[in-house]
């Protein structure tokens, strides 16, 4: 199963339209909404995991884009500042998906962006603020 | 009669260091050497074992002298990037504490606070070569008429900058859990309810005082790696408690010995002195320290051969027991177990996370090893050992 995490930004004029529900019916993909801030007359933001055949996922994304939704891979907007990080490992106790994990036996602290769901728990837990999750303010406030 | 079969002196080891002949290994490497060859043979082979630790150490700071102004000033209140420094010293001497938050920090008013900037961050910025805004006010005297000063300074501008850390390198520390029903935010990190995670903070087998558990070689005047430069142990640290419960190998199973250390801040680097923000707790400072241990005899070889499996600590509840002085624990675990990522507490598997960087501790031990191997760094004989009782 092809699975990818995306950050979707919805133009404010789409805030009252049923968009996501059609992914299942018309494009035969499954999805998991990890985060969503959709308010009337505001730009909406959603962190969405999409699963399905690669070509179906591709068609589903094209469908979303037709509404003016901008799409980014989540893994491209979350990063660890390796200059700041001193590999203490405090984040590994709180990361729910083990995207931040310890390599044994050398105890190196590694970050795998593909496993990250953008929950943002690590941002405030990191003693040197090395994790950067650049979703917009409204989503940051949810985390 | 000497009670040891191998007997070396610090002078002999220093002669070997100067001749480029000293055998220096890290505390991690020593584990295997002692295991394979036995302590006596290891003591014959190895002259110095290097240790390291890099983690938050709240009881750290710096005495800074910022130079006189014209007209002169006797500063009574001083801020660096809005972080208050203690000015109750001579005219332009201050002490900046690593754990002091910026004056306009919202602290825990919106809980849990973020504590983005504090004394540790000021020291890191100075070491990174950044400009820091110094503000001082004074009440004015005949000899010091100036009543206000505001200027940007760099570390180079300061006539003197001395790191003075009243308590570093805790010999062992608690493993923290939270047995309450809600998440708590502690100096041991964020602890989820009902014991769902456990945090610990020690470099284990690399930790300086775990390799000289009974303080047979470390004392006042021991030369060390401090923050990337050389420093000295200048006293036992505050709360030094040699009487803690110990295993047969000498290592304590509870927080025990501590070091007070000092060094020239100007020799240090921002890689090894870092400002730290601990959510809901406060700002603090991470300090890199490494201590060389001379292998004077087979006893020191045995001590430095200690491995994570041979060192244990207690699991302590930080939701109630710690804050209420209840001396109770939820079992003892070894550092090998802690580093495996999982321990058992009350019959349940609990995920563990460290706060102390093993990667950086190892790097410090390697740097110190290189310094000694290159002949640049010799050992100092302590003028007095740390109290052992």
Mean pLDDT on A6-22: 89
User: Is B197 close to A89, i.e. CB distance below 8 A?
Assistant: no
Quick one: average pLDDT of B352-376? 98
pLDDT computed for residue A17 by the predictor? 86
pLDDT value of residue B176:
98
Q: List the domains of chain A with CATH numbers.
A: 2-74 (3.30.70.260), 77-134 (3.30.70.20)
pLDDT at position B1: 59
pLDDT more than 70, % of chain B: 100
Residue B79 tokens read as 């801020």
List CB contacts (< 8 A) between B356 and chain A: 88
Would you give the DSSP letter of residue B100?
P
The average pLDDT across A91-98 equals 94
pLDDT score for A136: 55
Average of per-residue pLDDT across B243-253: 97
Nearest to B274 among A89, A92, A128 (CB): A128
Residues in chain A with CB shorter than 8 Å from the CB of B340 are 104
Q: How many CB pairs under 8 A join A and B?
A: 76
pLDDT greater than 50 at residue A141: no
DSSP state of B106: -
CB A46 within 8 A of CB A8: yes
Of the partner residues B112, B353, B357, the one whose CB lies closest to the CB of residue A86:
B357
Tokens 């969503």 — which residue?
Answer: A36
pLDDT of residue A40: 87
Q: Please say if the pLDDT value at position B159 is more than 50.
A: yes
Query: What is the rounded average pLDDT for all residues in chain A?
Result: 89
List, for residues A37-73, the tens digit of each pLDDT value: 888 888 999 999 999 999 999 999 999 999 999 999 9
A124: chain B residues, CB-CB within 8 Å: 112, 114, 279
DSSP-derived letter for residue A114 is G
Determine the pLDDT at residue A142: 38
Q: Using DSSP, state whether A75 is helix, strand or coil.
A: helix
With tokens 């092809």, the residue in question is A2
Model confidence at B326: pLDDT above 80: yes
Question: What pLDDT, on the 0 to 100 scale, is given for residue A139?
Answer: 41
For range A123-127, the mean pLDDT: 94
Is residue A137 pLDDT above 70, yes or no? Answer: no
What average pLDDT does this structure show over A3-20? 89
Q: Which of B277, B352, B360 sits opposite A93 (nearest CB)?
A: B352
Report the pLDDT averaged over residues B288-316.
98
Q: Which residues of B touch A (CB under 8 A)?
A: 54-56, 112, 114, 116, 189-190, 192, 197-199, 274-279, 286, 339-341, 351-360, 362
Interface test mutation site (partner B, options A80, A82, A85, A88, max chain B beta carbons within 10 A):
A88
Of B238, B172, B241, B180, residue with least CA distance to B203? B172
For residue A91, the chain B residue with the least C-alpha distance is: B353
The mean pLDDT of chain B is 97
Please, is B5 exposed, middle or buried when counting C-beta atoms within 10 Å of its C-beta (0-12, 13-18, 19+)?
exposed
Of A26-30, B124-128, B145-149, B227-231, the range with the lowest mean pLDDT is A26-30
Q: What is the pLDDT of residue A138?
A: 40
Q: Tokens 């430095």 label which residue?
A: B304
Q: Do B339 and A107 touch (CB under 8 A)?
A: yes
**Band of residue B305 on the pLDDT scale cut at 50, 70, 90:** very high
Is B50 within 8 Å of B368 (Cβ atoms)? yes
């Amino acid at each position: 199963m092809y699975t990818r995490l995306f950050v979707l930004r919805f133009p404010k004029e789409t805030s009252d339209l049923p968009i996501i529900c059609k992914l299942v019916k018309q494009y035969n993909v499954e999805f998991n909404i990890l985060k969503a801030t959709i308010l009337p007359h505001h730009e909406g933001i959603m962190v969405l995991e999409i699963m399905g055949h690669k070509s179906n996922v591709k068609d589903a994304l094209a469908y979303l884009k037709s509404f003016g939704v901008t799409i980014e891979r989540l893994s491209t907007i979350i990063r660890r500042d390796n200059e700041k990080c001193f590999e203490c490992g405090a984040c590994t106790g709180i990361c729910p998906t083990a995207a931040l994990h310890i390599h044994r036996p050398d105890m190196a602290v590694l970050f795998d962006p593909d496993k990250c769901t953008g929950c943002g728990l690590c941002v405030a837990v990191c003693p040197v603020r090395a994790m950067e999750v650049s979703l917009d303010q409204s989503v940051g406030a949810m985390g | 009669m000497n009670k040891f079969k191998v007997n070396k002196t610090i002078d002999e080891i220093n002669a070997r260091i100067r001749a480029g002949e000293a055998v220096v290994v890290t505390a991690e490497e020593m584990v295997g050497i002692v295991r394979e060859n036995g302590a006596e043979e290891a003591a014959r082979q190895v002259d110095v074992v290097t240790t390291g630790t890099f983690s938050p150490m709240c009881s750290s700071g710096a005495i800074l002298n910022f130079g006189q102004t014209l007209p002169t000033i006797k500063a009574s209140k001083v801020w660096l990037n809005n972080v208050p420094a203690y000015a109750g010293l001579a005219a332009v001497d201050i002490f900046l504490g690593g754990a002091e938050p910026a004056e306009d920090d919202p602290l825990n008013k919106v809980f849990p606070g973020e504590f983005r900037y504090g004394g540790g961050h000021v020291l890191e910025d100075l070491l990174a070569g950044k400009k820091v805004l110094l503000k001082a006010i004074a009440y004015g005297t005949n000899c010091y008429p100036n009543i206000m000063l505001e200027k940007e300074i760099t570390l180079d501008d300061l006539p003197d900058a001395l790191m003075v850390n009243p308590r570093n390198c805790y010999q062992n520390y608690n493993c923290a859990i939270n047995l309450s029903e809600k998440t708590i935010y502690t100096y041991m990190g964020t602890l989820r309810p009902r014991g769902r995670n456990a945090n610990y903070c020690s470099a284990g087998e690399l930790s300086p005082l775990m390799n000289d558990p009974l303080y047979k070689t470390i004392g006042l005047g021991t030369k060390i790696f401090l923050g990337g430069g050389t420093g000295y142990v200048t006293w036992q640290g505050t709360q030094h408690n040699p009487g803690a419960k110990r295993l047969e190998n000498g290592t304590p199973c509870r927080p025990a010995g501590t070091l007070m250390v000092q060094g020239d801040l100007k020799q240090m680097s921002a890689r090894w002195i870092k400002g730290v923000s601990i959510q809901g707790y406060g700002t603090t400072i991470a300090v890199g320290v490494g201590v060389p241990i001379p292998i004077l005899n087979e006893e020191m070889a045995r001590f430095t051969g200690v491995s994570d499996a041979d060192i244990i600590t207690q699991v302590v509840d930080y939701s109630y027991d710690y804050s209420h002085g209840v001396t109770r624990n939820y079992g003892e675990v070894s550092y090998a177990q802690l580093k495996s990522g999982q321990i058992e507490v009350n019959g349940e598997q609990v995920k563990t996370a460290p706060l102390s960087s093993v990667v950086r501790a190892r790097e410090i031990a390697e740097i110190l090893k290189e310094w000694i191997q290159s002949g640049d760094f010799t050992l100092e004989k302590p003028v007095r050992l740390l109290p052992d009782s």
